[in-house]
A = this chain, B = another copy of it.
Amino acid sequence: MLKKLLTINGINKTVVVDPEATLADVLRKQLFLTGTKVSCNEGHCGACSVILDGKLVRSCIVKMKKVEDGANVTTVEGVGTPQNLHPIQKAMVFHGAAQCGFCIPGFVVSSKVLLDNNPSPTREEVRTWFQKNLNACRCTGYKPIVDSVMDAAAVMRGDQPADSIEFKLPEDKRIWGTKYPRPSAVAKVTGTAEYGADLALQLPAGTLQLALVQAKVSHANILSIDTSEAEKMPGVAKVVTYKDVKGRNRINGLVTFPTNKCDGWDRPILCDTKVFQYGDAIAIVCADTKEQALAAVEKVKVELEVLPAYMSAPAAMAEDAIEIHPGTPNVYFEQGVVKGEDTKPIMESAAYVVEDSFYTQRQPHLALESDMGFAYYDEDGRLTIHSKSIAVYLHAIMIAEGLGLDPAQIRMVQNTAGGTFGYKFCPTIEALLGAACMATNRPVYLEYDYEQFITYTGKRSPFFMNIKFGADKNGKLLAMETDWSVDHGAYSEFGDLLTHKGAQFMGAGYDIPNIRGLGRTVCTNHAWGAPYRGYGSPQSEFASESLMDELAVKIGADPLELRYLNAYRPGCTTPTGQTPETHSLEAMIDLLRPKYKAAKEKAAQATTPEKKKGVGVAIGIYGAGGDGPDTAEVWADMLKDGVLISTTWGDHGQGADAGALGTAHEALLPLGVAPEKIRLELCDTGKAPDGGPAGGSRSQVVIGNAIKVCCDNLLDGIRKPDGSYMTYDEVVAAGLPTHYTGRWTSPAAIGDPDTGQGNPIDNYMYGVFMSEVTVDTKTGKVVVDKMTIVANVGKINNKAVVDGQIYGGISQGIGYALTEDFEDIHKHTNMVKCGIPFAKDVPDDIEIIYYDDPRKTGPFGASGVGELPNTAPHAAIINAVYWATGARVRELPAYPHKVLAALAEVK
C-alpha cells in the first residue's frame, strides 16, 4: 500500500492506496468524489477526466503509483458547486449541454483545462481539444457543449455579460417553448447527480456485490453447473443458479400479435437447459466484495455441449438450421402488407421500376454509462429494484412471473440514467437482481463493465430488405413491394412489433396506393433486438429512401423534387392505410429547397477528384406513441407550497424532467405556480401511477396529455366561483381533495399482422434531412460537412431539450451511416471499436429548421421528438455519398472499404 498526501480540490487528503489502483477508483471508491464518472474504464471516453498537477488526465488509466506524493488533483467538484457554478457549468446549464449528463463532468474538467491554457479558443480549437482528449458524448452531438465553452470563455474574458449564460424567465412567466434549464441540469454539470454506480457506493452495509457467470459461446446445451467450489470461496454468500429462481425463470417477452409462433417465454433469467447468445447469464455469485465475487466466478464449473451458432437471419433461416428455441421455429412471426391492388401487374406495366436490396447493421446504443442496478426489500416487503429501466411498470410485469411473484410485489425505480436510447426498454439486469435478492434476502448490487454492457444488452436489430418501386412516367409512385427479414437475435421480446414497423415505415412519407410486402422475425444466436430511437424506421426508411434516390437517378429527376412529388398530400394514406394527421411535407420541402440548391451548387464548386462532395436528402417519419390505444395516468397533489406531479416518465437523458415540468407548468398557468414549485416524481412505481414506458417518443404526447387532463381536473376542483383558485390551506379547510388523477389514451388501433393496415399511432413526427458530405476517393472515408433538418415536431415544449435531441440523434445517425456496428462479439467490445463518433466526426454545422405545426392531439400542440432525428439522417448521408461519387452503399455502416468497393463498381 502507498500512503500519499494529496491536495484534492484544495483540501489535503491522506490516502492509503494500492499502487495498482487507478486514480479514478481512488477518487470514486475511496474518497467518494463520485462526480468523476467511469465509463469505458480504458481511457478512451474522457468521462473520468480530472486535472492532475495542472494537466488533464483520464483518471481511469492513471495508476496511483504514478501519482506523486503531494500531487494536486481537481475534480469536477473542485471546478464549481451547485451554489457556486463555474461559468463553464453555467453555460452548460443554459445551453442544455447535459442530457444524460454522464460525460459532462469530464467535459467540464476538460474545458476548464482548455480555457486555463487558451482563454480565446475558436470553435474548431474546442472541437479539436475534445477530439484530442477523447471526450466522448453520445447525447448531444457535441454542439451544445461547444456552444457552452465558447460562451463561458467569452464571459470569463469579459467579452460577454455574465448573465448572457443565465436563463431569464419571460415576462409572461411561461416556460413553455423556452430554454428553461432542465431541473437536473445543475446536478449533472456539478457531478452531484447520482447515477447507479454512485448510489451503489452509498448502499447499506451488508449489501452483496454480484458477479455473473456468463456464457462464452453463442449457442450450447448446458450439461451441468457445479457451484460447490465457488460457494466455498472467501466472502461468498451464495451462488444463485436457475434452481434458486422461484418462478418460471423466464422473462415475459410480451407478445403483441396472436399470430406470433413464439409465446414470448423464451428468455431465461438464468440459463437452465441452453445458452442462446454470447454472454447469457448462467449463475450469479453473491459476495461481500466485487473482487470476491469475481474470484468465485472463476470457480463455477459449467459443462456445455456447443451447438452451431446462427449469427445472422439468413444463417438461422437455412434449411439445416436447428431450432434455437426447441419447439419454436426460427422464423416465428410474419408481418404482411396488403394495401390497394395487387402490385404484380402494376409493376409489369409501370414506366419505371427500381428494385434493390439493403442491409442495416446491429447498432449498439453506446450509452456512456454501462448497465447496473440494485435490489432490496422495501419497508412494505416489496422486492424493490433500481435500474436504468425506462419502462418501470412494464418491467415489473415482464419479470414477475419468472421470479414467482405478482407484479404488485415488485417495486421498480429508475436511477438517474447515463443514457439508454432505448436499450433499457428491455429488462437487462432487473430479473438477475431480483433473483439474487430473493435468494439471499440481502440488498444486492450488480454492475456490468463496459464490455459486458455491450455484449449482454439488446441492440438495434439488423434488417435484410428487398424493396421495389413502380412509378409512372412522371415519377409518381404506383406501387411498392417489400420483403424484410429481421435478425432479432436470441430473444423474442417486442420482435413481432419491430417487424410490424417495417410495414409502417418502408415507403413512409409517400403516397403509395398499392403495396404488397412480407416481413419476418428471425431468431438468431446474436444479441437480442432491443428498442433504439426510431425503432424500425432507420432500417425501413434506409431502404425506401435509398431506393427513392435510385428511382430519381433512373428517371433523371432531382431527388428532392421526386420526394416532393410523392409526399403525403390530403387524400393519401400511409403505407398502413392511415390518413396522416397533418400534411406538412410539401411545406417542409419548400423550406429546404433554397438551402438544398445552394448546397448542391457549393458542392459542385468545391468537389475535386480526390475529395468529392455531394448533397443527399431523405424524408424521415416516426410515430409519437405506442402502437394502438396508449394510456398514461398522472397524479397531481396540491402541496403547501406547490404541486407534486407523479407519473412514470422514464429518462434516457432526453429530458423527462423538463418535459413533465414544462407541460405541467403550462397546464397550471392559471394557478401561477412557479416552475421551481412544481415537484416531480417520475421514476418510482412505489410512488407514482403508471405513465407507461419512455419509448416511441410517446411521453410528451401520451403522458403530456395525461398531465394536462390531470392539471385540468385539479384546476376544476379548486376553482372558486369568481374564477380564481383556492390556496392549499383553503382547500384543506374546505375539506376538498388535494389529490387529483388524470388519464389519457391515444385514439389509435394497431395494424393487422396480415395486411399491416391500421391507424397504429395518431401523431407522427416528420423530418426532411439534408446531408453534405466529402468523400475521400483514395481512402473511402466519408466526412459529413453539414447536416440540415427541417423538423415538424409540433409545438416545442423546451427548446434546449428539443434542439439537443435533434443534435444528438443526428450524431447517432452519422455513426449508424458510417462507423457503428456490433457484429463481431470478440472485436466490437468497446465504444471506439463499435465506432462511436467523437467531436470531429460530427459536423459543427447542424442546422435545424422547425416547421411550426401544432398537433390537435398533442398537449398544447406538441408531438414527440426523440426518434425523429434517427429516422433517416443516415439515408441522407448515404445518398449524399452517391451524389458525390455515383457510388451506392447498400449495407451499413459505410466503412471506407465498402465505399471504396462501391467506388470501384462506378469506375
Binding site for B on A (CB under 8 A): 1-3, 10-19, 21, 29-32, 65, 81-84, 187, 192, 194, 199, 201-206, 234-235, 237, 288-292, 374, 376-379, 384, 386, 413, 415, 443, 684, 686
Q: Establish whether residues B291 and A206, one from each chain, have CB atoms under 8 Å apart when the complex forms.
A: yes
Q: Establish whether residues B235 and A288, one from each chain, have CB atoms under 8 Å apart when the complex forms.
A: yes
Partner of A11, one of B21, B82, B415: B82
Given that A1-B376, A11-B187 are contacting pairs, would A30 and B194 also be in contact in the complex, using a CB cutoff of 8 Å? no
Q: Establish whether residues B376 and A14, one from each chain, have CB atoms under 8 Å apart when the complex forms.
A: no
Q: Establish whether residues B235 and A10, one from each chain, have CB atoms under 8 Å apart when the complex forms.
A: no
Among residues of B, the one whose C-beta sits closest to the C-beta of A21 is B204
Q: Establish whether residues B235 and A1, one from each chain, have CB atoms under 8 Å apart when the complex forms.
A: no
Among residues of B, the one whose C-beta sits closest to the C-beta of A234 is B237
The 10 closest A-B pairs by CB, nearest first: A32-B32, A1-B376, A288-B288, A30-B202, A11-B192, A18-B204, A2-B379, A235-B288, A31-B202, A16-B203
Given that A21-B204, A202-B31 are contacting pairs, would A194 and B14 also be in contact in the complex, using a CB cutoff of 8 Å? yes
Provide the bound-state CA to CA distance between A443 and B628, in Å.
60
Partner of A377, one of B1, B13, B288: B1
Provide the bound-state CA to CA distance between A192 and B30, in Å.
15
Provide the bound-state CA to CA distance between A201 and B16, in Å.
11
Provide the bound-state CA to CA distance between A331 and B586, in Å.
108
With a cutoff of 8 Å between Cβ atoms, the chain B residues found around residue A2 in the complex are: 378-379
Provide the bound-state CA to CA distance between A374 and B2, in Å.
13
Q: Establish whether residues A1 and B204, one from each chain, have CB atoms under 8 Å apart when the complex forms.
A: yes
Among residues of B, the one whose C-beta sits closest to the C-beta of A34 is B32
With a cutoff of 8 Å between Cβ atoms, the chain B residues found around residue A10 in the complex are: 82-83
With a cutoff of 8 Å between Cβ atoms, the chain B residues found around residue A31 in the complex are: 202
Provide the bound-state CA to CA distance between A12 and B199, in Å.
12
Can you name 7 extra interface pairs (CB under 8 A) apart from A3-B378, A19-B379? A1-B379, A3-B684, A10-B83, A16-B386, A30-B202, A30-B203, A205-B291
Provide the bound-state CA to CA distance between A32 and B35, in Å.
13
A-B contact pairs, 28 of them (CB 8 A): A1-B376, A1-B377, A3-B378, A3-B384, A3-B413, A10-B82, A11-B82, A11-B187, A11-B192, A12-B187, A14-B194, A14-B199, A16-B202, A16-B203, A16-B374, A17-B204, A30-B202, A30-B203, A30-B204, A31-B202, A32-B32, A32-B201, A32-B202, A84-B84, A205-B289, A234-B237, A235-B235, A288-B292
Q: Establish whether residues B378 and A206, one from each chain, have CB atoms under 8 Å apart when the complex forms.
A: no
With a cutoff of 8 Å between Cβ atoms, the chain B residues found around residue A292 in the complex are: 288
With a cutoff of 8 Å between Cβ atoms, the chain B residues found around residue A192 in the complex are: 11
Provide the bound-state CA to CA distance between A81 and B10, in Å.
11
With a cutoff of 8 Å between Cβ atoms, the chain B residues found around residue A187 in the complex are: 11-12
Provide the bound-state CA to CA distance between A616 and B379, in Å.
61
Partner of A202, one of B15, B199, B234: B15
Q: Establish whether residues A199 and B16, one from each chain, have CB atoms under 8 Å apart when the complex forms.
A: yes
Question: Of residues A3, A16, A81, A289, which shows the largest number of chain B Cβ atoms within 10 Å of its Cβ?
Answer: A16
Provide the bound-state CA to CA distance between A657 and B23, in Å.
29
Provide the bound-state CA to CA distance between A817 and B572, in Å.
100
Among residues of B, the one whose C-beta sits closest to the C-beta of A64 is B204
Provide the bound-state CA to CA distance between A384 and B84, in Å.
40
With a cutoff of 8 Å between Cβ atoms, the chain B residues found around residue A237 in the complex are: 234
Provide the bound-state CA to CA distance between A785 and B670, in Å.
64
Provide the bound-state CA to CA distance between A205 and B288, in Å.
11
Provide the bound-state CA to CA distance between A204 and B377, in Å.
29
For the complex formed, measure the closest distance between the CB of A891 and the CB atoms of chain B, giving whole angstroms: 45
For the complex formed, measure the closest distance between the CB of A222 and the CB atoms of chain B, giving whole angstroms: 29
Provide the bound-state CA to CA distance between A288 and B287, in Å.
10
Provide the bound-state CA to CA distance between A202 and B376, in Å.
25
Question: Of residues A65, A203, A374, which shows the largest number of chain B Cβ atoms within 10 Å of its Cβ?
Answer: A203
For the complex formed, measure the closest distance between the CB of A61 and the CB atoms of chain B, giving whole angstroms: 18
For the complex formed, measure the closest distance between the CB of A688 and the CB atoms of chain B, giving whole angstroms: 12
Provide the bound-state CA to CA distance between A10 and B192, in Å.
11
Q: Establish whether residues B3 and A686, one from each chain, have CB atoms under 8 Å apart when the complex forms.
A: yes
Q: Establish whether residues A29 and B194, one from each chain, have CB atoms under 8 Å apart when the complex forms.
A: no
For the complex formed, measure the closest distance between the CB of A524 and the CB atoms of chain B, giving whole angstroms: 39
Provide the bound-state CA to CA distance between A497 and B21, in Å.
47
Given that A1-B377, A2-B379, A3-B686 are contacting pairs, would A16 and B288 also be in contact in the complex, using a CB cutoff of 8 Å? no
Provide the bound-state CA to CA distance between A17 and B3, in Å.
32
For the complex formed, measure the closest distance between the CB of A246 and the CB atoms of chain B, giving whole angstroms: 20
For the complex formed, measure the closest distance between the CB of A82 and the CB atoms of chain B, giving whole angstroms: 6
Provide the bound-state CA to CA distance between A199 and B291, in Å.
21
Provide the bound-state CA to CA distance between A384 and B386, in Å.
40
For the complex formed, measure the closest distance between the CB of A777 and the CB atoms of chain B, giving whole angstroms: 54
Q: Establish whether residues A1 and B443, one from each chain, have CB atoms under 8 Å apart when the complex forms.
A: yes
With a cutoff of 8 Å between Cβ atoms, the chain B residues found around residue A443 in the complex are: 1, 16
Among residues of B, the one whose C-beta sits closest to the C-beta of A19 is B379
Q: Establish whether residues A16 and B205, one from each chain, have CB atoms under 8 Å apart when the complex forms.
A: no
Among residues of B, the one whose C-beta sits closest to the C-beta of A78 is B83
With a cutoff of 8 Å between Cβ atoms, the chain B residues found around residue A235 in the complex are: 235, 288
Provide the bound-state CA to CA distance between A675 and B887, in Å.
72
